[in-house]
Structure 1
Amino acid sequence: MLFLLTGEVQIGKTRWLESLVAELGAFGVPCAGVLAPGQWVPSTGPHADANGFEKLGIDNVLLPSGERIPFARRGDLARADGTFDEESRAAKAELAWHIDDAAIDRVNAHFDEITAHASAAAPVGAKPHSERSAEGAESKDPSRAPGLLIVDELGRLEIWRGGGLTSAMALLAQGPTPVFPHALAVVRDYLLDDTEALLAEAWPDRCRISPDDTGRAVILSACEFGA
């Protein structure tokens, strides 16, 4: 199943995901991929939200290691401090966030590592999770336990331009596998239809979810745990 997590800007999608990853880990369900928490500071300026915080940038947290790398900086701030690169992929796409090309390459390398590990852990002919669980022995190995692939998030670079997190898109394009029978991608609402069109063949079973108790219950049920 492919879960497409969507919702309004700054409603806590990544915080919700962080909690979900912790809960799945407690159940023995490994999560791999990337989370994208924001860099927030208290603020009373024009960019402050209703709670008095301003978003300066976005980190990427690589799962399962937890390595955190700076990923994006607000465009106006990048221009002000001289780090804006007019030749970068993000600049050419006219994104509001300036994403360093080296950061994109690092995250793509991470997804390449996940792909290689998944291929090594799931030889051709591997049995579905339900059969392995019934037999018992193989499902006890955490390195081979079926997990959830997470991509936070797919944006205009990936969906409209075929760029950005290309390795994540390539892994998603494989569809469900013994290692990752389920995947979750964070997608803005205006990109949902195009995202589904790109991944329809690979993931005929798809579900749009919100960062709430219903979305949580749907994922836990798919991972064979009750809500």
Structure 2
Amino acid sequence: MSGGSHIEYFRLQGARILLAPYEYDGLPDDETTWQHGLAPTLRALYVAEHGEGRTLYEVAHQLRMAADLFSTHLKDGEETTPRALKRIPAAATRERTPAVLRDIATYVERWSKIEGKLEAHPGPWELSHRFPRLKQVLTIYFGQDGLAYEGETEDMPEAEGVRTWINDDVHPNCVWELPGTVAECYEALALFTDEVSLDRFFTHLNMGSGYMPWLEFLPMFAQECINHMREHHPSRESLILP
């Protein structure tokens, strides 16, 4: 993907994340149906917004941008889908796509005012949005056939795999990445308070903890991140408020 194409694609990433449940089947024309189907992702985006992620207003704006692109695309009868619209689903009735996207945008803007919006029990798809850093590292390094397993035995502790990840993939940008990773470790421990629920959740997402139980692995993972910060990135005056 070229630099320009890369920018075009990711300028609508918030809309793409919201609409992901309908990527393969298309957006339903019926408002009640898509409201129900988008509820888990909306809740996930709402929680992310309160963690300084993109706001629902930004997502709504991206949905309207997608609607405008679909309008132009349909009017011109182009054979090739614009890069920005890749993996953004059309409506079941394709010509209604701009209207459906604008209806969803209006709904997203008003969603924060909906009573009972957080009463539902979150499922794995929804909760997975809370762990973007862990999802990447625990799939690549500790998932099935992960890098941390190459040549590894039970005598080689998982802590070495964590240090390998930090040194190879994160350092020297640790100030930006590791504190959030530590937070995700402890958020997982707060959400899933026993080994069975931790294992079911992370295994469902193809994440691994090596040979260690999750209740031991996650605190160890967080501590390795903290140890690296203390050793290589001690607090400086620029990081401390006056």
Q: Give the TM-score range, shorter chain.
A: under 0.3
Structure with the bigger percentage of strand = 1
TM-score in terms of structure 2 length: 0.27
Structure with the bigger percentage of helix = 2
TM-score in terms of structure 1 length: 0.28
